[in-house]
Amino acid sequence: MAFVPHPLPPSEPPLQLPPERLARVAEAEKALAQLELAAELVPSVEWFLYAFVRKEAVLSSRIEGTQASLVDLLSFEANQDPEASPSDDLGEVCNYLEAIAFAREELQREGGLPISTRLINEVHRRLMTGARGANKRPGEVRQSQNWIGGTRPGNAVFVPPPPEALPELLSDLERYVHSDDDLPSLVRIGLIHAQFETLHPYLDGNGRTGRMLITLLLEDRGLLSQPLLYLSLYFMRHRQEYYRRLDSIRVGDWEGWTDFFLEGVATIATESVATARELYALVNADRTRVLAADTSSVMGLRLLEQLPQHPVVSAGRVTRLLDTSAPTAHKAIELLEGLGVLREVTGRRRDRTYRYEAYLDRLGAGEE
C-alpha cells in the first residue's frame, strides 16, 4: 500500500526539541560557521570549492552504485578531449557538476528560479540526461507508481505516494520551503530532505536530487555561502542507518532522523575544516620547497599555484594553464616532479599524466 505523508512540519506528533536536541543544533551550526570561516581565511576559496564540490559529486553518485572515483573525475577533466564522452559512471558525476552550477546560478541571479518544483525538475533533468535512467523521463514528475525493494508494490520495502497525489504533495513541500516556523533552519533542511525522499517524485535519480537539495538549501538559508559540505560522505559511511532513519519517519520518528542528520552535518563540517587546513598547510609547505630549490623558477611556482584547482595535469594542460611554450611547461613539470610534488602515473613516454599526489591523498581521505 502506498504511503502518503502528512505535510511538514511534523504534527502527529510534533517534532520535539528538548535541550539536548537544541544543543545538537548549536553544535552543527557552529561546525558550519567554522567551515565558512576556514574558507574565508585562505587566499583562494576556489581551491576548496573546486575540490569539495567534486568530492560531493563523486560520493553522491557512489551511493547510487557508480564506481567513478575522485581521481577518475580529475583525470578525465585533465585529459578531456572536446570530442570525447565520459563513461556512464563519470557521466553521472559530470551531470552533478552541471546541475549544481545551473541551480546556484538560478538562485543567485535576479529573476532566477527559487527553490521550487520547477527548479528541482530542471536539476533532475540535468542529472539524468545521457546517464543511467535517461529513459525514465528526466525532469518530469512521475506519472506511474514506483517502489523501493521487491519486484512489485505488493512485496516492496517501501511504496511512495501514488502519482496522482504528487502535485498536491510537492506543492505542500514547496510552501514549507518558503514558509516560517519556530524550527531552526538546519532542522527544517533535514525535514525537507527526508520528505522529498519519501515522496520519491521521479522514476529514478531521487537520491542524488534530494542530496543536492540539502546543498542548495544550506546556501539559500545562509548557513554556507558556498557548497563546501560533502554530506554524502556521512550518508555513505552510514548507508544502512541512513535508509533506516528515513524509513523510521514513516512511523513518526522524526526525532531519530533529525538527530542523525544533525550529527552528520556536525561531523562532516568538522572534518572538512580539518581537510581545508591540511590542504592549505601542504600547499604552503610545497611553496616553501619550490622557492628554496636551486632550480626554482617563476613558471614552476606558477604551476604549483595552479595545482589545487588542477591536481591532475598533462603537459598540454600545463602549457594552456601557464599560457607558455611546451618546453617551458615541461621544465616547470620537471621541477615539481623532481621535488616530489608531482608524480607521473602513466609510465608512458608520451601523453603523460601527473598528479599532485599528497594533495589528492588528503582530499580523498574517507572516500572508500
Tally Cβ neighbours within 10 Å of residue 276: 24
Distances (CA, A) of 284 to 74, 142, 289: 22, 51, 9
Q: Could you state, in order of their start, the residue ranges of all structural domains in the chain?
A: 20-270, 293-363
- Residue-wise pLDDT for 87-130, tens only, equals 777 888 999 999 999 999 999 999 999 999 999 999 999 999 87
Mean pLDDT rounded to a whole number for the chain? 92
pLDDT of 196 higher than 80: yes
pLDDT band at 360 (very low <50, low <70, confident <90, very high): very high
The H or E element that residue 312 is part of is: strand 312-314
pLDDT band at 85 (very low <50, low <70, confident <90, very high): low
pLDDT of 83 higher than 60: no
Q: Who contacts 80 (Cβ-Cβ below 8 Å, separation ≥6)?
A: none
For domain 20-270, give the CATH number: 1.10.3290.10
Nearest to 194 by CA among 227, 221, 217: 217
pLDDT the model gives residue 102 = 97
- Residue-wise pLDDT for 143-183, tens only, equals 999 999 888 888 888 999 999 999 999 999 999 999 999 99
pLDDT the model gives residue 71 = 87
Q: Measure the CA–CA gap between 283 and 346, rounded to whole angstroms.
A: 24
Q: Which CATH architecture has domain 293-363?
A: Orthogonal Bundle (1.10)
pLDDT the model gives residue 42 = 77
What is the grid cell recorded at 261? 542528520
Tally Cβ neighbours within 10 Å of residue 270: 17
Full-prediction pTM beyond 0.85?
A: yes
Nearest to 54 by CA among 74, 81, 32: 74
